[in-house]
Structure 1
Amino acid sequence: MFRRALKSVLPAAAAVLVLLPVTAGAAAASGVAAHPAAAAATAPRHHVRTHPYFTGRVATHRVRLNVRSGPGTGYRVVGHRHTRGLVSVSCKTYGSRVHGNHVWYRLPHRRGYVSAHYVTTGRYVPWC
């Protein structure tokens, strides 16, 4: 009985031992760490920006552009941007119409909204 068990278990154990170093070497070669702490130690330490910001220029003949708390003229004014100044925007959304344009840009970190009628970005800005 012992011999029969030894004959069936021994080849399976040998196969596991033969494959074990190969899979460990493949994991090391592919850059996959075996332990979570080792994975954290080998991870790149540079900061990846998750939300890109786009730069636009205030294009109005007025003295300043109103920054509002929401995407519409009915929202309260929370700040201003000067004429010909640069403004960073994170995304665009629909709001009330300003001279036929109903698109508004949201400022980074939810600091307010400006009408797209008065801002030129020169490139595609994603929707919020």
Structure 2
Amino acid sequence: MFGRTLRNGLVAAVAAVAVFPVTAVAATATPAPHHVTAHHVTRHAVGQVTTRHFKRLNVRSGPGTGYRVVGSRRVGRTLPIVCKTYGSNVYGNHRWYKLPHHEGYVSAHYVSNRSAVRWC
């Protein structure tokens, strides 16, 4: 009787593996490395608009004053910054900050960094 129960259990286990092979393999496999299963989290640098003579900072479509204005930001506003790049000269400063989500670029001359900004 014990042998028949063991044999029936073994047949049931083999049948389950045959029907659900992915489940059986996933249950016995080692977990994937952390970098494969983790979601990519992007952390942006942070800066604050500090224009002196103007109430708003122009956001441009590219890193320079020759690019069209696509928006603006108020003085004192905190900005997320993706990266920095070289562009046209603004009072001796050739650095421009790229904003996330294709919002545009702002001159670094008018932004005070709160954290390090990587190069694009």
TM range (shorter): 0.5 to 0.7
Where in structure 1 are there 5+ consecutive unaligned residues?
A: 1-34
Offset from partner CA, 1:3-33 (integer Å, 9 cap, x none): xxxxxxxxxxxxxxxxxxxxxxxxxxxxxxx
Cα separation, 2, equivalents of 1:103 and 1:46:
33
What letter matches 2:92 in structure 1? Answer: G
Instruction: Give me the TM-score of the superposition, normalised by structure 1.
Output: 0.63
**Structure with higher strand content:** 2
Match among 45, 60, 69 for residue 54 of structure 1: 45
Displacement of 1:111 = 1.4
What letter matches 1:112 in structure 2? Answer: G
Q: Are 2:81 and 2:98, in contact at CA under 8 Å, matched by a contact in 1? A: yes
Alignment of 1:14-33 (within 5 A): none
Instruction: Give me the TM-score of the superposition, normalised by structure 2.
Output: 0.67
The aligned residue for residue 101 of structure 1 is 93
**Structure with higher helix content:** 1
Where in structure 2 are there 5+ consecutive unaligned residues?
A: 1-24
* Aligned-partner SS, 1:109: coil
Report how many residues are paired: 92
The aligned residue for residue 77 of structure 2 is 85
In terms of Rg, which structure is larger?
Answer: 1
Displacement of 1:124 = 1.7
Q: Are 2:46 and 2:115, in contact at CA under 8 Å, matched by a contact in 1? A: no
Q: CA RMSD in A?
A: 2.4
Cα separation, 2, equivalents of 1:99 and 1:120:
15
Identical amino acids, percent of aligned pairs: 55
What letter matches 2:110 in structure 1? Answer: Y
Displacement of 1:110 = 2.1
Q: Are 2:84 and 2:96, in contact at CA under 8 Å, matched by a contact in 1? A: yes
Cα separation, 1, equivalents of 2:43 and 2:71:
22
Displacement of 1:46 = 5.1
Displacement of 1:65 = 0.2
What letter matches 1:115 in structure 2? Answer: S
What letter matches 1:58 in structure 2? Answer: V
Displacement of 1:113 = 0.1
